[in-house]
Amino acid sequence: MSSGEPQEPVPLTKREFESLARFRFGIRRYLRFSEETVRSHGLTPQQYQLLLALKGFPGREWAAMRELAERLQLRHHSVVELVDRAQKQGLVQRAADPSDARTVRVELTSDGELTLVRLGAMHRDELRRLGPTIELPIFDDPSKK
């Protein structure tokens, strides 16, 4: 085999498959909980992600559309539509950026903040409850075999 050809991946052990399956199950349980919880509070999962992305943005309490598109892994026009719907619900607001007229800041409103505080606490508690099912899988180091 030449050095330019891709090498076959090292197969997982049974224990690694079990760890990976447990992790995937935990993620799915968490996502299902999240989807059902936010819907029961009148939001879509995407709106919750938007609120979370705004509150959790590093170093400040707002984000630009392009930053939200990156954080949410959505196209710019999809984020604009999402922000439009959230703004109509009173969850977010747009504000001009005083240092860059081309940038529009998206910020949480007090209603958006209150909604996120409630939902964030519920998500934290669910993650605590899920415990080890949501821990990253552990893989053997093939160099130590």
Render pLDDT for 37-59 as a digit per residue (tens, 0 to 9): 999 999 999 999 999 999 999 99
Three-class SS state of 2: coil
Mean pLDDT of 105-122: 97
- 18: tokens are 């079990």
What pLDDT was estimated at residue 36? 98
Rounded mean pLDDT of 9-25?
A: 91
Residue 83 burial (CB < 10 Å; 0-12/13-18/19+)?
buried
Query: What is the chain's mean pLDDT, rounded?
Result: 92
Residue in the structure block whose two tokens are 């240092």: 99
pLDDT digit string, tens, across residues 52-103: 999 999 999 999 999 999 999 999 999 999 999 999 999 999 999 898 888 8
